[in-house]
Amino acid sequence: MKKRVISAIIALIIVVPLIILGGIPYYVGVGLLSIIGYYEITQVYAKEKEIPLNVRIISMSTYLCLIASSIREYSFVLDHRFIILNILACMLPLIVYDKSKYDSDDALKLLSTTLLLSIAFNFMIIIRNISLYYLLYVLMITIMSDTFAHFVGTMIGKKKLCPKISPNKTVEGFIGGVFFGTFLGSVLFLTVISTTANVFLVIVISLILSIISELGDLVFSAIKRKYGVKDYGNIMPGHGGVLDRLDSFIFAILAFSYLVSFF
């Protein structure tokens, strides 16, 4: 427990100033996290079969280009040129490597992963460009949903939510996390971001983001379960790797980006 607390404090000391400052320091921070996240997921895949180094280097290069393309963006748009490059980087090696080293399953697995992560990290930059408060809003929902899901589940949780994926998660914890994530996220939005916003709409959006964030955690847990690993990494002692900490946030970012496109 002590190790978890110390790691969390150190992470906050590093991350909070970068979020507040925005601009180049924030872009660099997101870039570093994206590189670590890419490394973590490919190391997990290596538990089954290692992806050739050349393929990893080329696909990561196109992956970073897609993330960096959002540095000056203030709307949710993706540069199709880098998406195409990423597709080519993952798929074309199929004609070079023997299937024992790199087959269609490997290519599609790498492609889906790099697109998921690059789009999410891309939108992390765009949301911060648009508004610091929007980023804090999504973070608030994600952190509170995760925190209270753990707290409520530990205190009163009995019915398992997805025992084959995450044995410790409970239905009670899920409901508690969604309730508090929705409530606290809505309060933040209505008191700090916009006091004139439609209350019902804010609550609905907060509810959706909270649910998606918790489901995102389960998705990343399912990947870990398939490859038999406990954590994606150990960069944060007691917490795991970057993807262990950002799994819920990644899906919440994608959901927020989707929802705001309608307004």
What is the structure's pLDDT at 4? 62
Residue scoring higher pLDDT (156 or 157): 156
Is the pLDDT reported for residue 15 higher than 60?
yes
What is the structure's pLDDT at 2? 59
Letter string b/e over residues 74-91, b meaning 16 or more CB atoms within 10 A of that residue's CB? eebebeeebbebbbebbe
For 77-132, how does the pLDDT look when each residue is reduced to its tens digit (9 = 90+)? 888 899 999 999 999 999 999 888 999 999 999 999 999 999 999 999 999 999 99
Closest CA to 246 of 207, 216, 224, 226: 216
Residue scoring higher pLDDT (185 or 158): 185
DSSP 166: E
Range 56-65 contact pairs with CB under 8 angstroms and sequence separation of 24 or more: 58/89, 58/93, 59/86, 59/89, 59/90, 59/110, 59/111, 59/114, 60/35, 60/114, 61/89, 62/86, 62/88, 62/89, 62/114, 63/34, 63/38, 63/114, 63/117, 63/118, 64/31, 64/34, 64/35, 64/118
User: Per-residue confidence at 164, pLDDT binned at 50, 70, 90?
Assistant: confident
Mean pLDDT comparison of 112-116, 154-158, 161-165, highest-scoring range: 112-116
Residue extents of the structural domains in the chain = 22-130, 132-263
CA–CA dist 35, 67 (Å, integer): 10
User: Per-residue confidence at 230, pLDDT binned at 50, 70, 90?
Assistant: confident
For 195-229, how does the pLDDT look when each residue is reduced to its tens digit (9 = 90+)? 999 999 999 999 999 999 999 999 999 999 999 88
What is the structure's pLDDT at 8? 66
What is the structure's pLDDT at 168? 86
State mean pLDDT over 170-189.
96
| CB-based contacts of 161, cutoff 8 Å, min separation 6 | 169, 170, 171, 173, 174, 218
Residue that the structure tokens 């509810």 belong to? 207
For 30-50, how does the pLDDT look when each residue is reduced to its tens digit (9 = 90+)? 999 999 999 999 999 998 888
